[in-house]
A and B are shown apart, each in its own frame.
Chain A
Amino acid sequence: MVKTNLLRTSRTTFLAAVLCCGLAPAQSSLSVASKIVASANSFLTSLDDGQRSKVLFEFNDVAQRMKWSNLPVTMAPRAGLKMGDLSGPQRKAAMELLASMLSQRGYEKVLAIVEGDEALRVASGGRGSMFGRDLFFISILGKPSVKDPWMLQFGGHHLALNITIVGHDGILTPSLTAAQPAKYTVDGKTVRPLGAENDKAFALVNALDEEQRKQAILNYKVADLVLGPGQDGKTIQPEGIKCSAMNASQQAMLLDLIGEWAGIVHEQAAAARMAEIKAHLPETWFAWSGPTTNGMPAYYRIQGPTVVIEYAPQPLGGDPTMHIHTIYRDPTNDYGKKSVARRVP
């Protein structure tokens, strides 16, 4: 009898533990997804009918989905709502929605890029029709839902975030982060929106030994992004050094570098994404073109089965180290196609 009770108790405890273990992540996922949807609905509620019709698109609106660029909005027009056309509370709701989808450091990076464009507007004499924080656009594809897939686009000059939400998944690919100026000051504080992407990469290439560098450093110049805007669905042959030829410390440095892009999205989605990238790390390549002294302009590319990252200084408008373009893709899951396919029969 005692034994039976013990068994029953331990079974109950075991079941409770299993349920807790199983449900905890689900509840956590649900709460992140729910918070994002609540933020989206708050933003949509803050708009009038006319604004809502401008910001909402069908989830499968391919033309809108592909309407992103590194170029200023006056040259490559975006659809959706312009931040400068929103009232204070509406703008606050829009930024709260964005913040709910991103990690703290991801959100800070995005703000630094936007404020960099504002600095460019001021440096251009404030003529302001081409640059500045008012010229970023927001759009929503599909209906915000914890169940069905939908997407948020936020971008303007030097920024294109395409965030597909599928349940608790947050897919950030393809996205473009860029910066010009790549370094500026606000209240005496230096801001480098893509500073970590630069410094961590230089640290990695300098951590390679001579033989590894021979493999990693390409013998040719790379003038621009190869798989930038307009190159959806394409993958190129990888080059450089394969991660399997790196030691554990170098591999950790590469993962940390990748985290600068993969970690932009909210922490839970970022953790899943990093686990996926880590699983394919031995098949991931790192290629470098240019000098290896930090402070000099150098291009690099990270390419694996589920990730493509390019970092390309631009020889335009002066010092290339002050004008950076980057692209972040997943050849298997751009715009969440893999996640959506898994979800939708």
Chain B
Amino acid sequence: MRRMTVGVLLALSLGGVTAAHRLDEYLQAALIGVTRDSTEVEIQLTPGVAMLPVLMAVIDQDRDGRISSEEERAYIARVAREVELQVDGVPAPLSLIESKFPAIEAMREGLGTIRMKLRTARSGHELRFENRHLPQVSAYLVNCLAAPSDGLVVRRQKRDQAQRSIEFEYSFGASAVPGPRAAWIALGPFWPAAIGMLLVARMAVLIYRAKHDKIAPKTSKLDTRVAL
């Protein structure tokens, strides 16, 4: 109710400015990218015009009206703590790869977006992500990125009503671009034939040697090793 009142009052006071863009919500959009050996989470945080004072109360710890580098880092660390990723039911620790803060002027106009990218070296078959950062004032989006070139197949996407959390199952199908590991696995059906051919070759060598030994004078083991 209070949020709505703030929004309406600001809408009345700012007129056209508020008509143009986000007002009283903190939009938190997460995109999750999974690969065979890692998971990345890209988070974009866009405070509405009316949200900046609320956000500044969280970020601007020394209350000087500015956001220092230390305050940026502290805020990013807080967001990172308040999101959780689980891979195959086990919490996967996320490391910060990069982050970018907009100018405070841009945020005052409701068009500044804080961007951060987190990564874990974990991948699996089931993923769950939850964002618990500032739920009272936020609207959420969360999606899994498609990666058709990697053969990614995602099933059973489930979200809560507010999109604070998502869970899904995933696998990498046959259409995956073959990497070194994939090429190795791709040889699978041919292994019996390959082993058979090696055995035949080995047998041929042994038979040849047996015949050769009967005809030719014997050589020492040492000589044979050298000759080989």
Footprint of B on A, CB under 8 Å? 70-72, 75-76, 120-121, 124-125, 127, 130-131, 157, 180, 218-224, 226, 230, 234-239, 315-318, 323
Contacts and interface: CB of A to CB of B under 8 A. Distances in A.
Contact of A223 (B18, B25, B31, B168): B25
Contacts of B48: 316
Nearest to A70: B21
A237 B145 contact: yes
Contacts of B141: 222-224, 226
A183 to B, nearest CB: 15
17 contacts: A124-B19, A127-B15, A130-B20, A157-B20, A220-B159, A220-B162, A223-B27, A223-B140, A224-B29, A235-B145, A235-B146, A236-B143, A236-B146, A316-B20, A317-B11, A317-B18, A323-B19
Given A125-B16, A180-B19, A237-B144, 16 more contacts: A70-B21, A71-B111, A72-B20, A75-B20, A76-B111, A121-B16, A124-B16, A127-B16, A220-B159, A222-B163, A223-B25, A237-B143, A237-B145, A316-B18, A316-B22, A318-B11
A130 B140 CA distance: 28
Nearest to B31: A234
A327 B143 CA distance: 17
Query: Is the interface on chain B under 10, 10 to 19, 20 to 34, or 35 or more residues?
Result: 20 to 34
B190 to A, nearest CB: 32
B16 A237 contact: no
A236 B16 contact: no
Given A71-B111, A239-B157, A120 B145 contact: no
A317 B163 contact: no
A116 B163 CA distance: 32
B109 to A, nearest CB: 5
Interface in B1-60: 11, 15-23, 25, 27, 29, 31, 48
B145 A236 contact: yes
A224 B28 CA distance: 10
A222 B143 CA distance: 11
Contact of B15 (A124, A180, A220, A221): A124
A236 B27 CA distance: 18
A234 B145 contact: yes
Contacts of A219: 159, 161
Given A75-B109, A315-B25, A223 B139 contact: yes
Given A71-B111, A317-B18, A220 B146 contact: no
A176 B58 CA distance: 34
Contacts of B157: 237, 239
**Most chain A beta-carbon contacts within 10 A, residue among B11, B48, B141, B144:** B141
